[in-house]
Chain A
Amino acid sequence: MTIRNPLVLVALAAAIFAALGIGIWAPGDPMTKLKVTTGYTALILIFVLGVAVLLEIASGRMDLSQLLSEIGGGASMSRFQLLIFTFVIGLSFFLIVAETGKFPAVPAEVLTLLGISASTYAVSKGITASARTDSSKAPPPSAPSAPPSAAPKGEARGDGSANP
């Protein structure tokens, strides 16, 4: 395994130094030290890895151009609405946590909304995929029809069944 982004190494080094520093020099009993050390280490790791992902996206190495694209081309409405709902619920959750400092309760209606949105995306993907399967099984219109015995054994036929 190779680590291409130097920020990952920086994150690991910073997390180790923070853990050592707090563990040795921070005041308090061992349990408090452990809590603070774990908190700072997790924060440093998650933050630097998140920044690394953002930099990869910004530089274009992590390609988002197909984020909303359908398989056959064009933008996908089901992907777009899932993106909107995810951002709105995520932003709402974050705003409340930032304001109150506590984890808010999530009502069943919000989960239902997210479920509806994600199910629409999944069903839409299924419809598109099944349409592609049908079109790839259909014979080309200009090709002459071959006799049934000429089909190789086990190959799928145009009607969806398989040769015995």
Chain B
Amino acid sequence: MPELVTLTRVATIVLFAGFAILVFTRLLNGGISLSGLLAGDREGTFSAGRAQLLFFTSSGAIGYLVQVLHDPAASSLPHPPAALVTLIGGSQLVYLVGKAWAVLGDGVFRNRRS
């Protein structure tokens, strides 16, 4: 049985690392396109809503990983602070409201005018 546990651990590391390496390599060399990630819904504009979502998501994710690496022998996944959950939820809400306004707002006004 100990050999099976060791083999399972190695197999999981190989599969998980392989998938992560493939995805991140494609992200870096442009195989998975990130162009327009921060672009607004109108051509040539910059979206502040997307930028703040990227900032809070990246910060939250890095902070959580640091928490895990600080104590990897814990019996449970670390509890993210309630403030972080609220912050990320609020950030996503701002992004969605902005997107809905930009995408659907014109249609609503057009229907009201006609």
The interface of chain A, by Cβ under 8 A from chain B, is 35-36, 39-40, 43, 46-47, 50-51, 54, 57-58, 64-65, 67-70, 73-75, 77-78, 80-81, 83-85, 87-102, 104-107, 109-110, 112-113, 116-117, 119-120, 123-124, 127-128, 130-131, 134, 159
Contact = CB atoms under 8 A, between A and B. Distances in A.
Contact of A105 (B35, B58, B75): B75
B28 interface: no
Nearest to B23: A64
Chain A binding surface SS class: helix
Nearest to B96: A123
A116 B33 CA distance: 24
Interface string B74-114: 11111110100100110010011001100110010001000
Interface string B15-40: 11011101100100001111111110
A98 B15 contact: no
A98 B6 CA distance: 9
A112 to B, nearest CB: 6
Nearest to A81: B57
Contacts of B13: 98
A134 B109 CA distance: 13
Contacts of A54: 15, 18-19, 22
28 contacts: A39-B1, A47-B11, A64-B22, A65-B33, A68-B32, A70-B36, A74-B39, A77-B37, A80-B57, A81-B53, A84-B57, A84-B58, A96-B73, A96-B76, A98-B9, A98-B13, A101-B5, A105-B75, A106-B77, A107-B80, A110-B79, A113-B60, A117-B88, A117-B92, A120-B96, A130-B104, A131-B103, A159-B111
B73 A93 contact: no
A120 B92 contact: yes
B84 to A, nearest CB: 8
A106 B31 CA distance: 34
B34 A75 contact: yes
A158 to B, nearest CB: 9
B33 A69 contact: yes
B76 A106 contact: yes
Contacts of B72: 95-96, 99
Contacts of B75: 100, 102, 104-105
Contacts of B88: 113, 116-117
B74 A96 contact: yes
B103 A110 contact: no
Nearest to B24: A87
Contacts of A39: 1, 4, 8
